Chain A
Amino acid sequence: MIRLEGVTKTYGEGPNRVEALRGVDLHIAPAEFVSIMGPSGSGKSTLLNLVSALDRPTGGKITIEGQDISTLTDDALTLFRRRRIGLIFQFFNLLPTLDALHNVLLPVMLEREARGEDVERARGLLEQVGLGKRTHHRIHQLSGGEMQRVALARALVLGPKLLLADEPTGNLDSHTGEAMLALLKGVRDQHGTTIVMVTHDRNAALVADRQVRVKDGTIVEDGAAARLAAGA
Chain B
Amino acid sequence: MNPLRWLGESLAFLILGCLRGAALLLRPWRIGRLLRTVSVPHFGEHKIRTSLTVLGIALGVAVLIAVVLVNRSIVASFGATIDSVSGKANLQVTGGGGFEEEVVEKVRATPGVFKVAPVLTQTTPVRLPGQQGDQLLLVGVDFLGEDDEYFREYQSGEMPAIKDDPIAFLNSSTHLILGRKVADRYGFKLHDKIPIVTPEGVREFEIWGFVGDEGVGRAFGGDLAIMYYQAMQVAFGRGTKVDRLDVAVREGEDVAAVADRLEAALGPGFEVDRPERRTERVSQLLSGLNAGLMMASLVALLVGMFLIYNTISIGVVQRKKELGILRALGTTRRQTLALFTLEGLLFGVVGSAIGVGLGIVLAKFLLRSMTESVSEIYVQIAATDVHIDAPLLVGGFVLGVLGALAAALVPAREAMRVSPIETLRTSGIVESQGPRRGLTRADVVALLLVAATIGFLQLPTIGGQPVGGFSAAMTTTLAGAMLTPRLIRLLMGGLGPLAARLLKVQGRLAAGNLTRDLTRNSITIGALMIGVALSVSIGTFMTSFQRSALDWIEQTLPADLFVTSAASMANARNVPLDGALREQLAALPGVENVEAVRILEYTYQGRAVELLSSQFEITVKRARMTFLEGDADTALREMLQNEAVIVSENFARRFGVGRGAVLTLDTPDGTRQFPVTAVIIDYTSDQGVIAMDRSVYTRVWNDTLVDTFKLYVPPGGDLEAVRRRIADRFGEKHALFVLTNAEVKQEVVAILEQAFVVMHALELVAIIIAVLGVVNALLASVLDRTRELGVLRAIGMLRRQVQRMVMAEAGLVGLTSTLIGIGVGLVLGVILLDYINLAQTGWYIPFRLPLGSMGLTLAMVPIAAVVAGWYPARQAAALPVTSALEYE
Are B430 and A55 closer than 8 Å at their CB atoms?
no
Are B796 and A96 closer than 8 Å at their CB atoms?
no
A74: B residues at CB distance < 8 A:
799
Are B516 and A75 closer than 8 Å at their CB atoms?
no
Shortest B801–chain A CB gap in Å is 7
The answer to the question of A106 belonging to the interface, with a C-beta cut-off of 8 Å to chain B, is yes
The answer to the question of A52 belonging to the interface, with a C-beta cut-off of 8 Å to chain B, is yes
Which listed segment binds A: B40-48, B248-256, B592-600, B786-794? B786-794
Are A110 and B797 closer than 8 Å at their CB atoms?
yes
* A140-B504 contact, Cβ under 8 Å, with A54-B794, A78-B797, A95-B512: no
A140: B residues at CB distance < 8 A:
431-432, 434
Interface residues of B in 384-441 (CB under 8 A from A): 427-432, 434
We find that the number of chain B residues with CB closer than 8 angstroms to chain A is 31
Q: Tell which of B432, B511, B787, B885 touches A138, judged by Cβ atoms closer than 8 Å.
A: B432
Shortest B396–chain A CB gap in Å is 43
B797: A residues at CB distance < 8 A:
78, 82, 110
Which listed segment binds B: A83-91, A187-195, A222-230? A83-91
A interface majority secondary structure:
helix
The answer to the question of A121 belonging to the interface, with a C-beta cut-off of 8 Å to chain B, is no
Are B795 and A107 closer than 8 Å at their CB atoms?
yes
The answer to the question of A113 belonging to the interface, with a C-beta cut-off of 8 Å to chain B, is yes
The answer to the question of B373 belonging to the interface, with a C-beta cut-off of 8 Å to chain A, is no
Q: Tell which of B429, B793, B799, B885 touches A96, judged by Cβ atoms closer than 8 Å.
A: B429
B795: A residues at CB distance < 8 A:
81-82, 87, 106-107, 110, 154-155
B799: A residues at CB distance < 8 A:
74-75, 78
Q: Tell which of A82, A93, A102, A113 touches B504, judged by Cβ atoms closer than 8 Å.
A: A113
Shortest B45–chain A CB gap in Å is 20
B794: A residues at CB distance < 8 A:
52, 54, 81, 87
B182: A residues at CB distance < 8 A:
none
Are A54 and B885 closer than 8 Å at their CB atoms?
yes
Q: How far is the CA of A132 from the CA of B504 in the complex (A)?
A: 25
Are A97 and B513 closer than 8 Å at their CB atoms?
yes
Interface residues of A in 121-157 (CB under 8 A from B): 138-140, 154-155
Are B798 and A75 closer than 8 Å at their CB atoms?
yes
Q: How far is the CA of A155 from the CA of B515 in the complex (A)?
A: 26
The answer to the question of A98 belonging to the interface, with a C-beta cut-off of 8 Å to chain B, is yes
The answer to the question of B509 belonging to the interface, with a C-beta cut-off of 8 Å to chain A, is yes
The answer to the question of A72 belonging to the interface, with a C-beta cut-off of 8 Å to chain B, is no
Are B796 and A78 closer than 8 Å at their CB atoms?
yes
The answer to the question of A49 belonging to the interface, with a C-beta cut-off of 8 Å to chain B, is yes
Are B432 and A139 closer than 8 Å at their CB atoms?
yes
Shortest A89–chain B CB gap in Å is 7
Shortest A167–chain B CB gap in Å is 12
Q: Tell which of A49, A83, A87, A110 touches B505, judged by Cβ atoms closer than 8 Å.
A: A110
Q: Per-residue 0/1 for B493-527: is the Cβ within 8 Å of any A Cβ (1 yes, 0 no)?
A: 00000000000110011011101100000000000
The answer to the question of B882 belonging to the interface, with a C-beta cut-off of 8 Å to chain A, is yes
Give the nearest-CB partner of A141 in chain B: B434
Q: Tell which of B516, B791, B798 touches A89, judged by Cβ atoms closer than 8 Å.
A: B791
* A109-B508 contact, Cβ under 8 Å, with A82-B796, A97-B516: yes
Q: How far is the CA of A110 from the CA of B505 in the complex (A)?
A: 6
The answer to the question of B881 belonging to the interface, with a C-beta cut-off of 8 Å to chain A, is yes
A18: B residues at CB distance < 8 A:
none
Interface residues of B in 431-481 (CB under 8 A from A): 431-432, 434
Interface centre among B511, B513, B881 (most CB of A within 10 A): B881
Are B882 and A96 closer than 8 Å at their CB atoms?
no
B512: A residues at CB distance < 8 A:
95, 97-98
The answer to the question of A26 belonging to the interface, with a C-beta cut-off of 8 Å to chain B, is no
A91: B residues at CB distance < 8 A:
427-429, 787
Interface centre among B505, B787, B799 (most CB of A within 10 A): B505
Give A residues with C-beta under 8 Å from B.
Answer: 49, 52, 54-55, 74-75, 78-79, 81-83, 87, 89, 91, 93-98, 102, 106-107, 109-111, 113, 138-140, 154-155
Instruction: Give me 18 other A-B pairs in contact (C-beta within 8 A), A94-B429, A96-B432 excluded.
Output: A49-B882, A54-B881, A81-B794, A81-B795, A89-B885, A91-B428, A95-B788, A96-B429, A96-B431, A97-B511, A97-B512, A97-B515, A97-B516, A110-B795, A110-B796, A110-B797, A139-B432, A140-B431
Give B residues with C-beta under 8 Å from A.
Answer: 427-432, 434, 504-505, 508-509, 511-513, 515-516, 787-788, 791-799, 801, 881-882, 885
- Please provide the 9 A-B residue pairs with the shortest distance between their CB atoms, ordered closest to farther: A82-B796, A97-B512, A96-B432, A109-B505, A93-B791, A54-B881, A49-B882, A55-B882, A110-B796
